Structure 1
């Protein structure tokens, strides 16, 4: 378990946010009710008062299992074209998705998207051949295991628990839509109203009604603009 994961587990357990202290310690400080803890550069948890190293398992005690830092979907019902749809859908909204969930890295790179759209792809084997011929690191946020017929989204360790739940729902609905569509475009559209553009896309995917109300809220809260109006309202003189 790396330091970022340790911090997230402590935040989830104590229901408080850790503070990054920066130079020179590069440590995190977490103020719980019973004590203040420092997570140092080596990932050790230290009681700031006693200076004693605290074992993470003992500190957390009996707590519910930490959610997986990846999202897995079955590709059993996919073919090459539907997996291309999946990649294209993610790529077309990747910029907004990264801002919505504070991802630092791309899920898929430009060269891979170009390659799968320039190639004749019908079957899973076709998709696998193109993936294996692509440059290393061209699909960093999404891994494929063709033997087990599983695709894995790998950037989830960066997410807060509520963001992870929202992303899981989004992945599930993108997966379903990718299999239903004959073709999904990878074209990235420039927008000056991020909230409206992303909200419209979520609704087109089928994320409609009270069932997805909180999910939409979480996915839109970090974006700029107005979700209700395509053109931002002019300020009154």
Structure 2
């Protein structure tokens, strides 16, 4: 079972919302009246004492034998369906301008993001990003009103849930590198007064994208695997702006 389904199952079982912890753990935390569960990036469930627990055991704490039938059923469904991989990103601490910054930053590198993550379609359409930047936006309510008027269907790869203060990125498959990428975008978007949505053509995809990843804060050994994952599908040379090393 994929991690997103594990998080959803535990969250719905206890009737509480899972909290995404972001960098550096990229784990989810689910707090109940009796226990706190952490679900790591590999989908392992750990209780507040640090002990690993099977999903079946977590569910049996409350539902008893009914969970015996539910878990195999969920597993069987997953073998016959291919649901998108979802990356939920909290917006509680963002205002409307920060949310627009997030979309601008994504749109400005959309073509490279699509190739990096194997996306067939756009996350954000051009007419949406142009219109949302022409609007006067300060609060999330401002953004919601204008985005609804423009058409949220034009942001087909991103779900904006203003009731839950959450946005969700949908990908064709699980990607730890993508989780780190979008989390860092959200963090930087809060700090910037404004971010441009304009994109620039490049003849060296890896160098352009790698430079951008470093500006986002994806620096050092902690992000080594994430950078490798995000750059592997791009053309060019990440170390040399011209695309290749020149011999002396």
TM-score for both structures, normalised by structure 2: 0.65
2:194 is aligned to 183
2:177 matches 1:166: yes
Ranges in structure 1 where 5+ consecutive residues have no aligned partner: 1-56
- Render the CA deviation track for 1:106-141: whole Å, top value 9, x for unaligned: 111001100111111111111001110013521001
Q: CA shift at 1:93, angstroms? A: 0.3
1:11 is aligned to none
2:223 is aligned to 212
Aligned to 1:223, which of 227, 231, 234? 234
Q: CA shift at 1:232, angstroms? A: 2.0
Distance 2:244 2:85 in 1: 39
2:139 is aligned to 123
- Render the CA deviation track for 1:149-199: whole Å, top value 9, x for unaligned: 111112x2x12x4xx111011111111011111111001010000000000
1:197 is aligned to 208
1:48 is aligned to none
2:157 matches 1:146: no
Aligned to 2:122, which of 106, 130, 136? 106
TM-score for both structures, normalised by structure 1: 0.68
Distance 1:67 1:136 in 2: 21
Number of aligned residue pairs: 172
Ranges in structure 2 where 5+ consecutive residues have no aligned partner: 1-71, 77-81
CA separation of 1:148/1:135 partners in 2, compared to 1, >3 Å: closer, same or farther? closer
1:80 is aligned to 96
Q: CA shift at 1:235, angstroms? A: 7.6
**For residues 8-157 of structure 1, what are the structure 2 equivalents within 5 Å?**
57=72, 69-135=85-151, 137-154=153-170, 156=171
Distance 1:203 1:136 in 2: 31
Instruction: State the SS of the aligned residue for 1:126.
Output: helix
Q: Which of structures 1 and 2 has the bigger CA Rg?
A: 1
Instruction: State the SS of the aligned residue for 1:96.
Output: helix
